[in-house]
Amino acid sequence: MNQRRISKSIQIGNITIGGGAPIVVQSMTNTDTRDVMSTINQIRELEEVDCELIRVAAPDMEAAGAIREIKRGISIPLVVDIHFDYRLALAALEAGCDGLRLNPGNISEPDKVGTVARAAKERGVPIRIGVNAGSLPKTADPQLSVAEQMVEATLEQIKLLEDLDFDLIKISLKAFDVPTTIKAYRSIAEKIPYPLHIGITEAGLPRTGVIRSAVGIGTLLYMGIGDTIRVSLTAHPREEVIAGYEILKSLDLRQHGPVLVSCPSCGRTEVDLISLAEEVGRRLETVKKPIKVAVMGCVVNGPGEAKDADIGIACGKGRGVLFRKGEQLRTVKEKDFVQALMTEVERL
């Protein structure tokens, strides 16, 4: 794995992004921002699964104004997503947002961007320049590849902000196409010092969207690129946060709750291993300890294959063996598999 690119750090509320800080997991609400209670409730649900930064859309003045009240009901920093109308950004700043996201594809006029940057600077609020392949500025050069057009649009907007002596900048260049996204991030990472928010945009339904995001985000992280991640899924945003941590855990970049190791089962398996692993997975959802738990389908290979698990069960016919770090603890009856495993998890 490549060494992490060291970026300039910025502060969004009490969260540090870049400069070698742990990679931040973020998400975006899908409630109507004007519906303050629903939005607060959804953000609180996300806080429960350790979402560290939340973004809300502000499509009109009422939504931008609602930020003040939403902020009072939540504990994590809040970024406001602005398209088309720079005055919404000013209203969101006025209402106390911790960060802004602007899309250069629909707000790029220097005077408007300048007005927002000056107001953000007064309050020490960072701005993410969020370029999307689907909404590139009209001035983009069609001779260039999509990735190059994204990079050009980003550099132009950065120059605009730097000319105003504004450097609380974060960057994203997202596409649905994974190779385009990777190409764009690799290119920009060499050209600028600012922290990068990475993700694959409109990645789809959870089953395919998580894979698409894991391939894109995972590849970039493996290259040392990325300071904060958002998995975008057509699902409850809780799924995005869970997937985000799973990607980081897969690369050993963050620890977060348990890891479940379970074998695919085979002709040696004599229990309903899929149901058992699903049940253990459900029970582990509320466990916060960074432990490795194994559910294996046979006693012959199970304990050895999962010997680095902190606790595991290897299932035989009607009975199974509980093991810790590859060492056998005791034999348990099939009806007690889940309970015995969870008791050991609590003891760890």
Q: Does 297 bind ligand SF4 (CB under 6 A)?
A: yes
- Centre a 10 Å sphere on the Cβ of residue 82 and count the other Cβ atoms it contains: 27
Element (H, E) at 260: strand 259-262
Among 13, 105, 258, 302, binds ligand SF4 (CB under 6 A): 302
Residue 263 in contact with ligand SF4, rule: CB under 6 A = yes
> Contact between 298 and ligand SF4 (CB under 6 A)?
yes
Size of interface with ligand SF4, in residues (CB under 6 A): 12
Give CA angle at 77 (290, 281), nearest 5°.
30
Please identify, using beta-carbon distances, which residue of 125 and 338 lies nearer to ligand SF4: 338
Distance CA 333, CA 348 (A): 21
Q: Does 11 bind ligand SF4 (CB under 6 A)?
A: no
Residue in 265, 280, 310, 345 binding ligand SF4, rule: CB under 6 A: 265
Of the residues 6, 144, 205, 266, which one makes contact with ligand SF4 according to CB under 6 A? 266
To the nearest whole angstrom, how small is the minimum distance from the Cβ of residue 14 to ligand SF4?
44
Compute the least distance from the CB of residue 319 to ligand SF4, in Å.
15
For residue 232, what are its two tokens?
A: 């975008």
Q: Which residue has the tokens 């701005």?
A: 127
For residues 78 and 67, the answer to whether their CB atoms sit within 8 Å is: yes
Residue 305 makes contact with ligand SF4 by CB under 6 A: yes
List the structure tokens of 304.
Answer: 């050895």
Site membership for ligand SF4, residue 103 (CB under 6 A): no
Tokens describing residue 276: 């058992």
Stretch that binds ligand SF4, among 115-123, 154-162, 210-218, 258-266 (CB under 6 A): 258-266
- Least distance in Å: CB of 280 to ligand SF4? 15
Place of tokens 């695919």: 264
Q: Under a CB-based contact definition with an 8 Å cutoff, are residues 292 and 305 in contact? A: no
d(CA 169, CA 97): 15
- With CB atoms as reference, the residue minimizing the distance to ligand SF4 is 297
- Interaction of residue 293 with ligand SF4, rule CB under 6 A: no
Considering only residues 56 to 95 of the shown chain, the ones binding ligand SF4 according to CB under 6 A are none
Q: Write the single-letter amino acid at 193.
A: P
Helix or strand holding residue 338 (H, E):
helix 337-347
> Binding segment for ligand SF4 among 33-41, 89-97, 140-148, 263-271 (CB under 6 A)?
263-271
- Contact window for ligand SF4 (CB under 6 A) among 56-64, 84-92, 244-252, 266-274: 266-274
Regarding beta strands 127-132 and 169-174, do their DSSP bridges make them parallel or antiparallel, or are they unpaired?
parallel
Q: How far is the CB of 340 from ligand SF4 (least distance, A)?
A: 19
The pair of structure tokens assigned to 344 is: 């050991």
Please tell me whether residue 310 binds ligand SF4 under the rule CB under 6 A.
Answer: no
CA atoms within 13 Å, Cβ hemisphere of 143: 0
Residues that bind ligand SF4 (CB under 6 A): 263-266, 268-269, 296-298, 301-302, 305
